[in-house]
Each structure stands twice: as C-alpha cells, then as structure tokens.
C-alpha cells in the first residue's frame, strides 16, 4: 500500500470520528444562535402552545361558552324585574260591537299608552312562578278630547303546571354537573394540548436529527467511495465492493434530500400547531433527562375519579336520561295548569281618580287535559325513554369500568417508560460506539461492508428509538396529568400549578415574552368567581 493511500486512510479515520461524535459533543443548545432563529426547549414550546395555539384558544372559548350557559341557568332561580310599555295611535274605521249585540263600523281616533312593572320568581321545588305586578294604562279619545286612566296598583299571582315536567328541578340536578364537567374538561384540555405539543416537538426533533444523520451518512459514504477509488486502482478491493459503495453513496444522497423535505413538513406542522408565523426558523433544544419517579396506582385512580371529567360525564347522562323519562311521563298522562291572581284596580278620568279607592280583583283558572285515545303514542314514548335510561345506565357502568382500566394501563406504561428511556439512551451510546469501531475496522480491511452497513443501520435506529422513547415518556406524562388533575413529580394539583406557572421564557431565544397573567389562569379564576 503506497504512502498516499495510507495518508488518505488516516485522514478518513480522523474525519469519521469527528463526524460521528460531533452530534453528541455539540448538541443544538451549543449552536451559534442567529437572531432570526427561534430556539425552543420542550417547556417553552408547551408554554407557547398553551398561550396562543389554536387548539388552546378553542378549548378556552368552549369553556367560556359553558361558563355563560351556567350563569344563564343560575339566573333562572333569581328574581327578575321587567318593565314593559306598548303605546300606540289608532286612527281608523273599525267594526265595533254595540250593547244590543249588533255591530257597526265606526271611526276611532285614539292614543293609548301603558306602563307595567313585574317581578317574577321561579320556585324550583314546585316548578311554578310567583309574580307581582303594578301598572297603569292611559287612553285619550282624540276627537272628543277625553282622557281615561286604568290602574293596577298591585297584583299578586301564582301559576303552575300540576302534573307537568318540572324542568327547574331537573336543571338544578343536571346543570351544576354540566358546569363541573366543563371545568374539568378545560383543565384536561390544557394538559392534552401539552401532550400534543410533545408529539409535535419530538416529531420535529426526530426530523431534524434525521437531517443531521443523513448528512453525516452521506459525507461518510462519499469519503468511503473516494477512498475506494484509490484502493480499487491498486487492487485491494473488488469491483463489486466498489459498486456497492457507489450505490450506497447515491442512496445516502437521496436519503439526505428526503430527510430535508420531511424536516420542512414537520416544521410547518409544528409552527401551525403553535400558531407561529410560517417564516420563523425553529431549532429545538432536547431535554437531557426525564424525571425519575413512579406513580402509585391507588392514588392515581382516586385522583382520576375526583378530577377527571369522565365520572362527572357519566353521572350527568344518567340524570339526563331520568329527566327525559320524567318528561315523557308528564306528556303522556293528565295535564293541569292553574293560574291564581289577586290584586287591586281602579279607573278614572284623571291619574288621581285611577289610584283612589281601588277595588279588589280576583282571578283563578284551571285547565285540564286528559288524552282519551292517542293510539299508544304517549305510552310508547314512555317505554322508549325508560329503555334509553336503562341503556344509559349500562353504558355508564361500562364506561366507568373502561375508565378505571385506562388509568391502570396508563400508570403501568408511565412507570415503565422512564426505564425504557434509560435503555434507549444506553443503546444509542453502544450503537454509536459500534459504528465507530466498525468504520475503523472496515478502513483497516478487517471488516466487511455488510457489517459496516449493519452498524450504520443500528446507529440510525438507536437514535430514532431514543427520540421515540422520550416522546412517549412526555406524552404519557401529560396525559396522566390530564386524567388525574395532579402533578406527581411536584406533588401538586394542576390548578395550583397553573397559578404559579412561569410566564416569561428566557430572553434572547426568539420567544415572545409577556408580563400579563396567563390567559388559562385568568379563565379559571373567572370561573371560580361564579
């Protein structure tokens, strides 16, 4: 072997060792940070997602809609005060019934105005409504220029459906559950946004790592091919091996281009999820380690039953099914409505006369409706509602059982995932070392090209496996937080942690900073003020 070939071999060894170790010796955090590039670690990405991503904003507005629906529900049980007035002018010919029963067309020219004030109070345990009214009516005949007043100084009444469906009572049982479910859904959505951010983050990280790996593989393949040309000339390798190296060089060049396209696609998806401008370059800073702790299964299950929206959801649909059954029964049988009113009234040509010496007025009515022949429609609706209630009970029981199993499965996977991350990291180190050894042995002619290709494939697979294990860990971490409403790493409820969430990312990394309260915290605080 001549001196030039030996020199090329030594140069290649130095180049290979440098290329294979550089990605681990110089992680992305140590890269030269350009002013127009946003450098994000996982916590900063989650912060941005919770603050401005379309998914987080959608969850926020969904909760606010439920918030105002609950405010509307509560208002139904508070007194309402209404002021009404409907003045009019009538100047036309109308058909007027006379005292003897005949009718005549007479010209009327009138101006009328009225003013009424009413106070209403719903009664949830009966489903009826109490009311107090007071009003005055003024009528002026424009042709005769005469005035008339009619007043109702005070009138008290009550109205109710005796055998009807009491929606006020059932709403009082259902709507608080619906609002509790909405709050828990919102807290869960926050953590699920974080879990989705982890998936997008590590998908992009894997794509960026594939670009570095593909470029390194192409550089190595190109160097091997150039060296092989010299070795082929002196006859130390066969033509078949020379062609294999050339094919591998072309394949690695294609892989590098494919990796670049994949990175651009993942970058667009990541920016779209975070709600960032499409022209912002992003470099990710990967976490070095994962927290080392285990989640007690019994505690996780108890917290999930307390904080997850699923148990509240199943209880709500059960009560809604019973409400529907009550409504079907009320519409299938006897119906009766009562109306009672007692008050004072008076008329006069002046306002004073209309309020002097008022007369009592009483009014009572009852309306009854009993279906005699409906061809079984009412009974059929009752049976459908009862069957739906039983089906809902079965679905709720099965849903709760599945919920408990999902919690157990999630806890088991999470407690094992930290160990998988450690194994993946160790595998990556060993695969990298084996690749370096295989490359050195191949250059020295003590290893085959097949073994070298296997070492390269193992190294690439180990890198992807490590990133996948990290992605799975953090996705499980935030999914577990979403189901239990609890941070087991810091032993704090999620709601308490939101109030102390750091809101200002590190400066100089292209991250938008804010001094204001986090919008998620503000929404939860507004909800707690109801």
Contact 112, 135 (CB under 8 A): no
pLDDT of 444:
82
What is the tens place of the pLDDT at every residue in 380-408? 999 999 999 999 999 999 999 999 999 99
> For the whole prediction, is pTM greater than 0.85?
no
Q: What does the DSSP 8-state code read for residue 127?
A: -
Span 114-152, pLDDT tens digits: 999 999 999 988 899 999 999 999 999 888 888 999 999
Please state whether beta strands 80-84 and 88-97 pair in parallel, antiparallel, or not at all (unpaired): unpaired
Band (7; pLDDT cuts 50, 70, 90): very low
- Give CA–CA dist 215/230, Å, rounded: 23
Please report the pLDDT score of residue 148 as a whole number: 93
pLDDT band with cut points at 50, 70 and 90 for residue 231: confident
Q: What is the pLDDT of residues 186-213, one digit of tens each?
A: 999 999 999 999 999 999 999 999 999 9
Structure tokens at 510: 């292209």
pLDDT at residue 496, rounded to an integer: 58
Phi and psi angles of residue 516, each rounded to the nearest 5 degrees, phi first = -85, 170
pLDDT (tens digit per residue) in 331-350? 888 889 999 999 999 999 88
The answer to whether the CB of 53 falls within 8 A of the CB of 517 is no
- Per-domain boundaries in the chain: 3-28+48-69+185-291+431-528
Helix, strand, coil percent values for the chain (each to nearest 5)? 60, 20, 20
Mean pLDDT, residues 99-103 taken together: 84
**Confidence check: pLDDT of 529 > 70:** no
Q: Which helix (H) or strand (E) holds 251?
A: helix 239-274
Question: What confidence category does residue 507 fall into, taking pLDDT thresholds of 50, 70 and 90?
Answer: very low
Task: Please state, in angstroms and rounded to a whole number, the distance separating the CA atoms of residues 350 and 149.
Answer: 6
- The pLDDT score that the predictor gives to residue 453 is 84
- Please give the pLDDT value at position 508: 35
The 3-state DSSP class for residue 117 equals: strand
Contact in structure between 226 and 167 (CB atoms under 8 Å): no
Per-residue pLDDT tens digits for 178-193: 999 999 999 999 999 9
Least confident residue range of 252-256, 504-508, 523-527: 504-508
Specify the residue for token string 């209880």. 315
Note the pLDDT tens digit of each residue in 267-295.
Answer: 999 999 998 887 888 999 998 889 989 99
CA atoms of 52 and 32, how far apart (whole Å)? 27
pLDDT, one tens digit per residue, over 30-81 is 344 444 788 999 999 999 999 889 999 999 999 999 999 999 999 999 999 9
Average pLDDT over residues 425-436: 92
Q: Indicate whether 527 pLDDT > 60.
A: no
Determine the Cα–Cα distance for residues 258 and 245; give it in Å rounded to an integer: 20
| Mean pLDDT, all residues of the chain | 85
Mean pLDDT value of segment 8-13: 44
Answer yes or no: are the C-beta atoms of 246 and 229 closer than 8 Å.
no
């Amino acid at each position: 072997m001549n001196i030039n070939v030996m020199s090329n071999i030594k140069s290649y060894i130095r180049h290979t060792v440098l290329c294979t170790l550089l990605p681990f010796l110089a992680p992305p955090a140590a890269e030269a940070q350009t002013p127009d590039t946003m450098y994000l670690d996982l916590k900063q990405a989650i912060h941005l997602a919770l603050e401005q991503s379309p998914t987080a904003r959608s969850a926020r507005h969904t909760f606010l809609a439920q918030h105002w629906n609950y405010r509307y529900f509560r208002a139904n049980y508070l007194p309402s005060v209404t002021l009404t007035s409907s003045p009019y002018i009538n100047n036309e010919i109308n058909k007027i019934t006379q005292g003897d029963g005949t009718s005549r067309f007479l010209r009327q020219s009138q101006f009328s105005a009225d003013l009424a004030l009413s106070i209403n109070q719903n009664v949830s345990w009966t489903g009826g409504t109490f009311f107090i009214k007071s009003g005055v009516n003024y009528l002026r005949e424009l042709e005769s220029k005469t005035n008339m007043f009619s007043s109702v100084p005070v009138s008290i009444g009550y109205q109710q459906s005796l055998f009807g469906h009491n929606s006020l009572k059932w709403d009082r049982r259902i709507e608080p559950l619906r609002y509790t479910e909405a709050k828990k859904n919102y807290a869960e959505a926050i953590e699920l946004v974080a879990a989705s951010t982890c998936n997008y983050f590590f998908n992009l990280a894997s794509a960026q790592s594939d670009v570095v790996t593909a470029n390194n593989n192409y550089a190595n393949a190109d160097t091997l091919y150039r060296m092989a040309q010299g070795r082929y000339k002196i006859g130390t390798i066969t033509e078949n091996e020379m062609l294999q190296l050339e094919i591998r060089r072309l394949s690695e060049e294609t892989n590098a281009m494919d990796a670049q396209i994949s990175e651009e696609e993942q970058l667009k998806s990541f920016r779209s999820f975070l709600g960032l401008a499409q022209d912002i370059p992003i470099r990710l800073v990967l976490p070095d380690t994962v927290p080392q702790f285990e989640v007690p299964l019994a505690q996780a299950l108890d917290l999930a039953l307390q904080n997850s929206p699923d148990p509240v959801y199943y209880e709500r649909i059960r009560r809604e099914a019973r409400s529907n059954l009550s409504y079907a029964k009320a519409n299938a049988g006897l119906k009766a409505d009562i109306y009672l009113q007692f008050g004072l009234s008076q008329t006069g040509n002046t306002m004073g006369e209309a309020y002097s010496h008022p007369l009592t007025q009483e009014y009572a009515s009852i309306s009854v409706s009993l279906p005699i022949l409906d061809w079984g429609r009412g009974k059929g609706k009752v049976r459908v509602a009862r069957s739906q209630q039983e089906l809902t009970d079965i679905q709720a029981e099965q849903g709760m059982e599945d919920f408990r199993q999902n919690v157990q499965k999630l806890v088991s996977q999470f407690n094992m995932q930290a160990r998988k991350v450690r194994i993946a990291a160790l595998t990556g180190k060993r695969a990298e070392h084996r690749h370096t050894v295989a490359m050195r042995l191949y250059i020295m002619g003590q290893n085959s090209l097949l073994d070298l290709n296997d070492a390269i494939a193992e190294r690439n697979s180990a890198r992807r496996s490590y990133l996948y294990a990290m992605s799975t860990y953090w996705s499980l971490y935030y999914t577990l937080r979403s189901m239990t409403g609890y941070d087991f790493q810091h032993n704090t409820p999620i709601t308490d942690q939101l109030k102390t969430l750091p809101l200002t990312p590190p400066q100089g990394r292209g991250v938008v900073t804010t001094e204001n309260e986090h919008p998620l915290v503000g929404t939860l605080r507004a909800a707690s003020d109801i």
